[in-house]
Structure 1
């Protein structure tokens, strides 16, 4: 169990907090590129308890500025996009993507006030449909050569969703392999031909067993965790018999992302981005090693589940997550429909806006959560002492981090340790784009 002070230390990320100081050493997703339409490419964003305005100027450059105008504090998110920048509606002050004040038109002729004014601006980059920003001090770290960043746009799809609770409990569901046999249990197996774009629906690779049946019938996975340069690698092993073991390899990428398999040819890289202490967004890049992603189909699937403009789930706390007693009795373990995102949303939001970890009792299947919390506490301590935390990458180190490998498949009970690496090698070798990349380095 944790003390209240420890729980606050690892969950609160606003300005002036120790975990917030750690988080400001990294790039963070702040919007989908789709959220900046040509009609008005600007929007308010909130990250780590701070308010910003994100925009794209006429030259296609992205900028992220503090949201309050440095003149009188009015809201720049409503500003006009013109003349190379974002213009405040109150007195017409104009700022470019670097925060430089270009004009103060209400001032007297010949005024040099704008030369002495600057709005705080932050570095911004776009990676496969997600806009990332760095809101810390000094130089930002480099991006690792992960598959989700190296894949061509034709083979990557980005989306997001709002979660109304603390970022840490949202992350921890992704490094808990045991819950899938319960929270995502379906009592009837679906046609795997309709599995595209949906987790736990296809047959397990290298077998004809539907994932729904595998999770339902083999409920006690052996879970192993090992430290890596990027965070943690997780193994969930479901032994079917003396010859066959289902092997699922997932990853925790510090500070708050995970990489998991979606199907035999697709992986998901998902970040859990703190809006503030009591809400967060998940952002995901779906990366295909096989055929190009059907962007229209993937987007249509998800827009049935999430409402624009806030990407708020249609089923949630406000309508009891669609809970249905009759369905729970005969179709699903939860009675909350067939979308596993709804199940996860319930699990993490029902813990409260910020989970009270002083009341929890962890088991052996929580070993990845224990390992991550230790890593998080250590990183907070490093930053407090003036050192760089894990996964703060310079350019040289960034090129050495690849993958991470994420697979699930039916492997041998003896020799599963090499099986998952061989699966990844074959997948890359058959890929139109990954075959040209250097394979990940694995222990």
Structure 2
């Protein structure tokens, strides 16, 4: 059982809180690259309870600044892109992507005020369709050589969605292998041709059985959790017969992401990024091994569920997540439609803005969540001692973290480890963009 103080320690993310200090040690997704497309590439961003503005200047260079103008604190998200920077409409003060003040036009001729003004700026970089920012102090860590970062642009697709709850409960649903057999249970299986880009709709590797049927008929997985140099690896096996076992390998990428299989050819790397204490965005990179991603199709699928410009869900708390008791009786376990993002949204938002973990009772299937919370607390302790926590990497360390391996397949009941490693290695070795197996 967790105390209220312990719960606050791992959930609260402002700069003065333990978890907030930890998360500021890492690069954080702040926007999709497509959000800065168009004639006015400026976006307000709330991240970790702080307010920023991101923009591309006239040369296309990315920048992220504190959102309030240092003159009279007007909102720079309404600024003008001109003369090599972002200009505040209030008095015309102009700032470049580094936060340097270029002009204070209303000041008297010969004024040196501009030279003494500096708006706080933050490192930003684009990776696989996502803009990452480093909100902390000092040198940012290096990016690991994950599949989602080294695959070429036409083999990745990025998207995001808003959740109205604390980041930690949103993340924890993704590191829980047992919930899929219930929360995402379908009483009917779709045709294979309609499975592209949809979670749990394709067939498992080495099988003609749809994942939906596997999850429905074999709902009691045996879960093992191993500590890795990047976080955790979870292996869930479901005995199907004396000869065959379903194997699903997923990963926790510390501090706040997971890597899971979408299908035999595609994986999902997904971050849960705090907007503030009571809301978060999930950012996902879909990585294909076998062929380029159909980005238009993937985006069209997801925009049926999310509204622009803020990627808010169309189905959510305001309309009871689309709940239909007739559907619950005959079609889906939740009665909330056929998109698992809606199911997950209900599960984590129904726990409250910040889950009260003093009232929960964990079981054996929660061993991944228990292991992750232990790792999270250890990392918070390290930051408080002035030490570098897990996954704050230098260049050499980052190059050594690859993959990670993940898959979903039906293999022999014995030697499941050899089976899933072989499936993963063969997929990697056949990938056009990576013609060599990666060490697992």
TM-score normalised per structure 1: 0.99
Deviation of the 1:133 alpha carbon: 0.1
The alpha carbon displacement at 1:293 in A equals 0.2
**Structure 2 counterpart of 1:205:** 205
SS of residue matched to 2:249: strand
Of 36-45 and 363-372, deviating more is 36-45
State the Cα distance separating 1:435 from its structure 2 match: 1.4
1:29 alignment partner in structure 2: 29
Helix, strand or coil for the counterpart of 1:271? strand
Supply the distance in 1 between the matched residues of 2:31 and 2:418 (Cα, whole angstroms): 38
Q: Which runs of 5+ in 1 are unaligned?
A: none
Determine the structure 2 residue equivalent to 1:395: 395
Matching of residue 304 in structure 1 with residue 304 in structure 2: yes
**Residue deviations 1:354-395, cap 9 Å, x none?**
000000000000000000000000100000010001000000
Moved more, 174-183 or 186-195: 186-195
Q: Residue 276 of structure 2 corresponds to which residue in structure 1?
A: 276
What does residue range 123-162 of structure 1 map to in structure 2 within 5 Å?
Answer: 123-162=123-162
Aligned counterparts, 1:386-425, within 5 A: 386-425=386-425
Residues 276-295 of structure 1 mapped to structure 2, 5 A cutoff: 276-295=276-295
**What is the CA distance between 1:68 and its match in structure 2?**
0.5
Superposition deviation, residue 193 in structure 1: 1.5
Aligned to 2:235: 235
- Aligned residue number for residue 16 of structure 1: 16
Deviation track 1:318-345 (CA, whole Å, cap 9, x = no partner) reads 1000000100010000000000110000
What does residue 90 of structure 1 align with? 90
Question: Distance between the aligned counterparts of 2:99 and 2:120, measured in 1?
Answer: 6
CA distance in 2, matches of 1:230, 1:404: 9
Question: How far has the Cα of 1:243 moved from its partner?
Answer: 1.1
Report the CA distance between 1:401 and its aligned residue. 0.2
* Corresponding residue of 1:189: 189
Q: CA shift at 1:38, angstroms?
A: 2.9
CA deviation after TM superposition for structure 1 residue 300, in Å:
0.2
Distance 1:38 1:393 in 2: 35
C-alpha distance in 2, partners of 1:199/1:18?
Answer: 34
Moved beyond 6 Å, runs of 4+: none
Report matched runs for 1:354-433 at 5 Å: 354-433=354-433
Deviations 1:172-193, CA, capped at 9 Å, x for gaps: 0000000000000011111112
Are 2:337 and 1:337 aligned?
A: yes
Unaligned runs of 5+ in 2: none
Cα displacement (A) at 1:268: 0.2
How many Å apart are 1:299 and its aligned residue? Answer: 0.3
Count of residues in Structure 1 that have an aligned counterpart in Structure 2? 440
Show the counterpart of 2:319: 319
Q: Secondary structure at the match of 1:247?
A: strand
Q: What's the CA shift string for 1:98-150, capped at 9, x where partnerless? A: 00000000000111111000000000000010000001010000000000000
Superposed CA RMSD in Å reads 0.7
Structure 1: distance between partners of 2:182 and 2:435? 37
Q: What are the equivalent positions in structure 2 for 1:260-271 lying under 5 Å apart?
A: 260-271=260-271
Secondary structure of the structure 1 residue equivalent to 2:110: coil
